[in-house]
């Protein structure tokens, strides 16, 4: 059983214990699938491999954790129908990295609960309105600066906004600087900007 980690282009150095397999115009980085069922450990290993590939390749397209195949032939058969789309994706992320943004805050009023139906609805509406404001004043300007962006649908407070941006490798610091500047308009919220990551969020075609 083999595990697929990523598709790459212009790889200078393979991480220890892995090999590159050429198929349908793509270089797939594979290794022996770990026998252990420890998902946390597997995720850490996967992350370290992809991070290493990001540093050593001109373009890297990470795949989801746990993409295992019986052998190279099985992998090749699975890649065949998606090869063209994968090549296009790989080209789009060339020279780019992912920058992550997270906005967290306690936005619900503390103290007594809602007195009646209308106050309950107002209380529940407040985070949705804040989310909309964050999308307009924080996410939208960053999205315009990025090559592409993905924003996770709103679940519930306190995680108010979670977004990923595809940014040219050389523009990461400027991008993060703008994110922090924009975030200063929201003193009650905690904003973190992380990266550079491999473009995990941009490995799949647009939904």
Partner 1 sequence: MRDDPVLTKLLGSTGDLDGVARRTGGAVNAFPSRIGADPETVERGLAQLVLTLVELLRQLMERQALRRMDEGVLTDDEIERMGETFMKLAERMDELKAEFGLEDEDLNLQLGPLGSLL
CB of 100 within 8 A of CB of 195?
yes
- Interface characters, 132-171, with partner 1 (x: CB under 8 A): --------------------xxxxx-xx------------
Q: Which is nearer to partner 1, 24 or 147 (CB)?
A: 147
Near partner 1 by CB under 8 A: residue from 13, 77, 125, 140: 125
**CA 140/CA 123 separation, integer angstroms:** 26
Length of the chain, in residues: 207
The residue from 22, 40, 110, 112 that contacts partner 1 (CB under 8 A) is 40
**Interface with partner 1, residue 205, by CB under 8 A:** no
Side by side, the strands of the sheet bearing 59-69 are: 19-23, 26-32, 2-9, 59-69
Q: Select the residue interacting with partner 1 from 77, 78, 108, 180 (CB under 8 A).
A: 180
List 1, 68, 136, 194, residue binding partner 1 (CB under 8 A): 194
Q: Name the residues that contact partner 1, by CB under 8 A.
A: 39-40, 43, 99, 102, 104-106, 114, 116-121, 124-125, 128-129, 152-156, 158-159, 172-173, 176-177, 179-180, 183-184, 186-197, 207
């Amino acid at each position: 059983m083999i595990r697929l980690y990523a598709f790459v282009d212009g790889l200078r150095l393979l991480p220890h214990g892995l090999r590159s397999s050429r198929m349908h115009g793509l270089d797939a980085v594979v290794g022996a699938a770990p026998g252990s069922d420890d998902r946390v450990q597997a995720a850490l290993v996967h992350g370290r491999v992809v991070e290493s590939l990001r540093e050593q390749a001109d373009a890297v397209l990470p795949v989801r954790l746990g993409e295992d195949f019986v052998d190279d032939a099985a992998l090749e058969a699975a890649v065949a129908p998606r090869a063209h789309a994968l090549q296009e994706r790989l080209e789009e992320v060339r020279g780019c990295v992912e920058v992550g943004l997270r906005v967290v805050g306690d936005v619900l009023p503390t103290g007594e609960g809602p007195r009646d139906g209308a106050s309950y609805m107002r209380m529940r509406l407040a985070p949705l309105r804040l989310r909309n404001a964050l999308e307009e004043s924080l996410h939208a300007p960053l999205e315009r600066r990025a090559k592409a962006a993905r924003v996770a649908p709103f679940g519930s407070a306190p995680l108010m906004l979670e977004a990923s941006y595809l940014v040219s490798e050389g523009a990461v610091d400027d991008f993060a600087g703008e994110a922090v500047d924009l975030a200063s308009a929201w003193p009650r919220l905690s904003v973190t900007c992380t990266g550079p990551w491999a473009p995990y969020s941009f490995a799949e075609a647009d939904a």
